[in-house]
Amino acid sequence: MSTVLVTGASGYVGAAIVPHLKGSGHTVRAFARTPAKVTAPVDQVVAGDAVTGQGLDRALDGVDVAYFLIHSMEGATPGFDTTEAQAAQNFADAAQRAGVRRVVYLGGLVPTDHDVSRHLASRLAVEEILLQSAPEAVAFRASIVIGAGSRSFRFLVRLVERAPVLPLPAWQRFRTQPIDERDVLALLHAAGTQDDVTGATSYDIGGPDILTYGDLIRRIRDSMLVGRPTLALPISVTPIAAKFAAAIAGEDVALIEPLMESLESDLIADPSHDAAGRFGVRLHSFDAAIEHSLREWEAVEVLSAR
């Protein structure tokens, strides 16, 4: 079995993929700015910073497959896109020096009929850099990941839990294709471990259900068994709405504003990108994803709205 590097191992997806890799017999090395924050069962942690490039050569030495799961989530920070691109380029250069065979990346779905938000444009720029970093590079593009640890999902649940009325800005009419956390992890694991991955390829990924953002929020509300009325708003006013929504949910507005900007278009997976079929992953329905995520959440914290 090979040595696999997981960057962002202290984050949500990075920590979650480690047990899958360990379970299939791989040695897992983590790369983190603060090693003490890595709680996943890795074999080794290398300290470093992708933005400066410090530690990358050591982390990638002897590595066959590397996961790039670093995101600057606070996308309203000035210059965040430059920072993300610099981290990706440093990683790509180090991966090429180390002769890494495969790099796996998780980014965001990009609209085809609308201007791309700053948040998604940065994800796409990182993808383009990473696809040149290894001969078998694979990039996945996802919309909302439904999971107990997903910050976008947790934000929506907190809104439903705490807001007596659910305001739905004009972006409620746009469609999205959320995907179960379990399916994302299965795809990431398969992309990093299957033998027949060739070429630098990107895949749109989404669950089997396509729904509007308004319906997504209403179905989360219904799954939580609460009677929150909705209020349709004729405009989006994202900068203002983001501040109110972040305050209600107890989140950082620097995260919420770019996420809400990304809602102002359809985010649907290209049906020709059959990643599930390609990697042999069976997809969970949206309702199954919601129920699973809420059960996991409530195993450690009671939701007052339930």
Domain of residue 114, CATH code: 3.40.50.720
* Residue 97 belongs to a domain: yes
Is residue 159 situated within a structural domain?
Answer: no
Sequential pLDDT tens for the chain (306 residues): 689 999 999 999 999 999 999 999 999 999 999 999 999 999 999 999 999 999 999 999 999 999 999 986 554 456 778 889 999 999 999 999 999 999 999 999 988 766 777 778 888 999 999 999 999 999 999 999 999 999 889 999 999 999 889 988 888 999 999 999 999 999 999 999 999 888 889 999 999 999 999 999 999 999 999 888 998 887 777 777 788 888 888 888 877 887 787 888 899 999 999 999 999 999 999 999 999 999 999 998 888 765
Report DSSP state, residue 36. Answer: G
Cβ atoms 108, 143 nearer than 8 A: yes
In 5-52, alpha helices (H): 12-23
Specify the pairing of strand 3-7 against strand 65-68. parallel
pLDDT score of 113: 65
Range of the structural domain that residue 51 is part of: 3-146+178-206+268-281
Residue 217 placed within a domain: no
Q: Residues 190, 191, 194, 197: is their CA dihedral positive or negative?
A: positive
Residue 25 lies in a domain: yes
Per-residue confidence (pLDDT) for residue 167, from 0 to 100: 85
Q: So what's the pLDDT on residue 17?
A: 97
Q: Is residue 164 part of a domain?
A: no
- pLDDT confidence of residue 306: 56
In a domain? residue 231: no
Read off the pTM. Answer: 0.93
Pairing status of strand 211-212 against strand 175-176: antiparallel
41 close to 16: Cβ distance less than 8 angstroms:
no
Q: What pLDDT, on the 0 to 100 scale, is given for residue 77?
A: 57
> Is residue 239 in some structural domain?
no
Angle formed at CA 180 by CA 175 and CA 184, multiple of 5 degrees: 105
22-to-16, 42, 65, 137, 228 alpha-carbon distances in Å: 11, 8, 13, 21, 42
Amino acid 137: pLDDT: 97
Provide the pLDDT for residue 252.
Answer: 84
Task: Tell me, yes or no, whether 244 lies in a domain.
Answer: no
Q: How many domains does the chain have?
A: 1
